A and B are shown apart, each in its own frame.
Chain A
Amino acid sequence: MKDWGYKISTPRVIDLDIAYTAGYAKLVEEVPSAKKCIMCGACTATCTASNLTDFSFRVCHILFRRGQVANLSVELDKCMLCGKCNIVCPQGVNTRAIISSMRIILSDMNNRNNPL
């Protein structure tokens, strides 16, 4: 197919029957500053892991908020917790705490769904 330099996005739907929205409620409880995020992407721009992989904290945060958690735990493993995002964040969001909390919440969810 001809490369036009842009493409039409594939249509996406958030299936609310599958979406794990309880996770975000738990996250906000653990890390209240998550609500202050304005999704500006400064974190991703400075990210050590994004420099090496396609990891994006901003995308992970959005997906988790929407409850679209499939494959998210694999994605989150790319973070090295180096803390640059914490420093550049204009809103003072505790980004590393969000990553760690998301990891633990997702791991709890997986353990519940697949005991043993």
Chain B
Amino acid sequence: MNFHPLVIPFLAGTVFLLIVISLKYINWIRRLDANQSASIKKNILTFKTVQAISEIFHESLLHRKIYKKNTLLGYMHMSLAFGWFLMIVVGKIESSFYYGTFLDKPWLGIFFKYFARTPHHYFMIIPFSFIMDLLLLVTLSGVMLAILKRIRSTFLGLKKTTNHILLDRIALTSLWWIFPLRLLAESATAELTGNGSFLTGTVGHLLSVLSVDQLELPLWWAYSICIGIFFIAMPFSRYMHIPTEIVLIFLRKWGAQAGEEPSGFTDIQLNTCSRCGLCIDACQLNFAAEINHIQPVYFIRDTRYHHLSKDVADNCLLCGRCVEACPVGLELTVIRQQVRQKSEIHDNNYFDYNGAPEKTKKADIVYFAGCMSQLTPTILVSMKRIFEEAGVSYWFMDEEKGLCCGRPLRQQGYLQQSKDLVNKNTQLIHSSGAKLLVTSCPICYHSFKNEYSLTIPVMHHSDYIEMLMKETKLNLIQSDIEMVYHDPCELGRGSGVYDQPRHVLQSIGNLTAVEFEKEESLCCGGSLSNMVIDSESRQKIRDNTLKVLTKSRPDVLVTACPLCKKTFAQNNKIKIMDIAEIVAANIKNKIKTS
């Protein structure tokens, strides 16, 4: 007996699933952009493929990133993912042993207990049954935790969980039912045929108070139908992340990156989101400003199902805290910029800013303060003092008439206008013949590093000051001033500059660590990326961040971004200084002032 109609729902679901996901993947891979295809072709036959397979094992099945977030949450995911995976694999091996061939019918592993009713001629029965029961128990414990998470999410370390749509709820319910139904069905069969182990055997005895022979077949039918429903719902629900994360890990290891415009790779990332909701707790708009509908989980969902509203797309600080929190490593901020693209007003001939002066005299360093630094003149004065002290020849590029770096326009999706500014600025910078570009604004720094193709290196002033100190061109006075440092989003998470400003500050006074810093640092609330929220919401975010930063009651709060400084300063509770200011104020006098 190798076939029974009860396998039909399972088979239909499997065939449907395979057809749908194959079509989807073919479509997405065909729509990869030129850079992505090129780097994939270059890396597909290298060691990176092996690394990708190892990462798939660690991240898709065991999921170390979720373990790091919360052990119980990690166990929940692992027991479901790895537990089910092993049940399929061990079930296949078991049925291959039983039938003496590896090429037996594919459903026999899934419904093994139902078909293998005469276990006595099968010598491996005891160890296999034991392993399968153990795996089922592990998976069931995962289901229990998943149910617990729905009831009380704080138990698994989540303050808020995702509000799921109906389709996800259907898929979720069918997934949850698969394992208890399998237990009951196998137990009923075990009671009738004696092929169970410690779990199914015991539950079978308990079931024997009912008429097991009548229950057995309906239970197996229900089990098969649940798998069928789950497989049919999977490609359209959050569970598309199961196969898609594997594809994403391969493509990412082969060097694919999200570009400026949406491509097939964007679709793959959209489908990799499992809507776990870890980004919700990370989002400051959620916990500081009570805005609960725009978090990446909802943004990605709405983009995937093509009903993204302007509000959801635009209402984001692009601070990048969610990117750090995302267990599957989606490029959430880049995708948001992709969909903000304003292609409908792209045909305009943008204005040509001819007013910005070119440099005719050569200098060693170009100093680009940035628009925001123009609003914080103490930074400009301090930087001039530092340049003089170091004795370098510099050209203050935007002292009188400067352009914007182009990043604010790019963030809002005005790509062409942004590119015009990039070209103009590139021409100006290269005209100076300088060997180094120093900027005071992290937004400009990020832009110069990633969006320009300059022939000279770029440094943020915190990095530059550290370099001067290493070269002993700058000597600072050490005191016992108490400081905390605020990582600006674009400098820290955006560009990975964490240590340089800290080194500089440690040579001035005592630097105290704060609760959220480096990768976890908070946004000041002044972010240029968000054009939707009103000033009240910005103030809420600012005050929340200041509360964290000033817990240790420092003498001064140091930051490295004029926009952060300006935003914090409006609260007026603590002394705010830019790193350039505090450095300039503590220079050991080499130049004698007459």
Interface, chain A (partner B; CB < 8 A): 32-33, 46, 48-49, 51-53, 73-74, 77-78, 80-84, 87-88, 92, 94, 96-97, 100, 103-104, 107-108, 111
Instruction: Say yes or no for B500: interface residue by CB 8 A criterion.
Output: no
Assess the B350–A100 pair: CB atoms within 8 A: no
Q: Could you tell me if B531 and A80 are in contact, using CB atoms closer than 8 angstroms?
A: no
With both beta carbons as reference points, the residue of chain B lying nearest to A80 in the complex is identified as: B404
Residues of A within 8 A of B371 (CB): 48, 80, 82-84
A-B contact pairs, 17 of them (CB 8 A): A33-B535, A48-B404, A51-B401, A73-B348, A77-B348, A80-B404, A80-B408, A80-B409, A83-B372, A83-B528, A83-B563, A84-B374, A94-B531, A96-B531, A97-B532, A103-B342, A111-B344
Is B421 part of the binding interface, using a Cβ–Cβ cutoff of 8 Å? yes
Chain A residues within an 8 Å CB radius of B356: 52
B39 at the interface (CB under 8 A from A): no
Determine the residue in chain A with the shortest Cβ distance to B350: A77
Decide: B404 and A33 in contact? CB cutoff 8 A. Answer: no
Does A84 contact B421, Cβ atoms closer than 8 Å? no
Closest Cβ of chain B: how far from A38's Cβ, in Å?
A: 15
Closest residue on chain A to residue B410 by CB atoms: A81
What residues of A have a CB within 8 angstroms of the CB of B406 in the complex? 80
Pairwise interchain contact A107-B372, C-beta atoms closer than 8 A:
no
Other than the given A80-B421, A81-B409, A111-B344, 5 more pairs (CB < 8 A) read A33-B535, A73-B348, A74-B348, A92-B536, A103-B345
B531–A104 contact, CB under 8 A?
no
Report which of B408, B526, B532, B567 forms a contact with A82, defined as CB distance below 8 A: B408
CB of B566 within 8 Å of the partner chain? yes
Neighbour of A52 across the interface among B348, B353, B417, B563, CB < 8 A: B353
B351 within 8 A of A: yes
User: Could you count the A-B residue pairs with CB atoms below 8 Å apart for me: how many are there?
Assistant: 88
Are A81 and B528 closer than 8 Å at their CB atoms? yes
What residues on B are CB-neighbors of A83 within 8 Å? Answer: 371-372, 408, 528, 563
Known: A81-B409, A97-B532. A53 touches B353 (CB 8 A): yes
Residue of A with least CB distance to B408: A81
Contacts of A84 in B (CB 8 A): 371-372, 374-375
Pairwise interchain contact B414-A81, C-beta atoms closer than 8 A: yes
Q: How far is the CB of A84 from chain B (nearest CB, A)?
A: 5
Give 10 nearest A-B pairs by CB, closest first: A92-B535, A52-B355, A80-B404, A82-B371, A81-B408, A107-B345, A97-B531, A82-B404, A78-B351, A83-B528
B471 within 8 A of A: no
Q: Does B195 sit within 8 A of A, measured CB to CB?
A: no
User: Which residues of chain B (368-402) have a CB below 8 Å from chain A?
Assistant: 371-372, 374-375, 401-402
A-contact bits for B240-262, CB 8 A (1 contact / 0 none) = 00000000000000000000000
CB neighbours of A77 from chain B (8 A): 348, 350-351, 417
Q: Is B534's beta carbon under 8 Å from chain A? A: yes
Give the nearest-CB partner of B531 in chain A.
A97
B189 interface contact, C-beta 8 A? no
> Which interface residue of B342, B371, B403, B414 has the most chain A CB atoms within 10 A?
B371
- Chain A residues positioned under 8 Å from B344 (CB to CB): 104, 107-108, 111
B406 to chain A, nearest CB (A): 7
| Residues in B neighbouring A32, C-beta threshold 8 A | 534
A87 close to B404 (CB less than 8 A): no
Across the interface, which residues of A come within 8 angstroms of B528, CB to CB? 81-83, 96
In the complex, chain B residues whose CB is within 8 Å of the CB of A92: 534-536
From residue A96, how far is it (CB to closest CB) to chain B in Å?
5
Complex Cα spacing A100 to B345, Å: 11
Contact pick for B404, options A73, A81, A104, CB 8 Å: A81
B95 within 8 A of A: no
Given contacts A77-B417, A83-B371, A84-B375, contact A53 B531 (CB under 8 A): no
| Beta-carbon nearest neighbor of A96 in chain B | B531
Closest B residue to A107 by CB, please name it.
B345
Min CB gap A14→B, angstroms: 26
Roughly how many angstroms separate A82 CA and B403 CA in the complex, as a whole number? 9
What is the chain B residue whose CB lies nearest that of A51?
B401
User: Could you say which residues of chain A place their CB within 8 Å of the CB of B414?
Assistant: 81
What are the interface flags for B530-541 relative to A under an 8 Å C-beta threshold, 1 for contact and 0 otherwise? 011011100000
B412 to chain A, nearest CB (A): 6
Contact of B403 with A80 in the complex, beta carbons under 8 Å: yes
Interfacial chain A residues near B404, Cβ < 8 Å: 48, 80-82
Closest chain A residue to B402, Cβ basis: A48
A100 touches B566 (CB 8 A): no
Chain A contacts for B417, CB-based, 8 A: 77, 80
Chain A residues whose C-beta falls within 8 Å of the C-beta of B526 in the assembled complex: 87
Q: Is the CB of A87 within 8 A of B401?
A: no
| A48 and B403 within 8 A (CB) | yes
B353 contacts which chain A residues (CB < 8 A)? 49, 52-53
Contacts of A49 in B (CB 8 A): 353
> In the complex the two chains form, is A100's CB within 8 Å of B531's CB?
yes
Q: Do B372 and A53 touch across chains, with their CB atoms under 8 A apart? A: no
Q: Nearest Cβ in chain A — how far from B382, in angstroms?
A: 19
**Chain B residues near A100 (CB, 8 Å)?**
412, 531
Q: Give the residues in chain B near A73, CB-CB below 8 Å.
A: 348
Chain A residues with Cβ below 8 Å from B408 are: 80-83, 96
Contact A87 B566 (CB under 8 A): yes
Asked if A104 and B342 make an inter-chain contact with CB atoms under 8 angstroms apart, the answer reads yes
B351 with A33: CB separation less than 8 A:
no
Within the complex, what minimum Cβ distance (angstroms) separates B559 from chain A? 15
Which residue on B lies nearest to A97, using beta carbons?
B531
Least Cβ–Cβ distance between B254 and chain A, in angstroms: 35
Instruction: Indicate with 1 or 0, residue by residue over B340-375, a CB within 8 angstroms of chain A CB atoms.
Output: 001011001011010110000000000000011011
| Minimum CB distance partner of B527 in chain A | A83
Q: Please, what's the 1-or-0 string for B33-69, where 1 marks a CB less than 8 Å from any CB in chain A?
A: 0000000000000000000000000000000000000
Whole-angstrom distance between the Cβ of A31 and the nearest chain B Cβ = 9
Query: Cβ of B536: which chain A residues have Cβ within 8 Å of it?
Result: 92
Residue of A nearest to B529 (CB): A83
Known: A48-B403, A77-B417, A81-B404. A88 touches B375 (CB 8 A): yes
What residues of chain A lie closer than 8 Å to B409, measured between beta carbons?
80-81
Known: A52-B403, A77-B350, A81-B409. A87 touches B534 (CB 8 A): no
Most buried by B among A51, A94, A96, A107: A51
Shortest A71–chain B CB gap in Å is 13
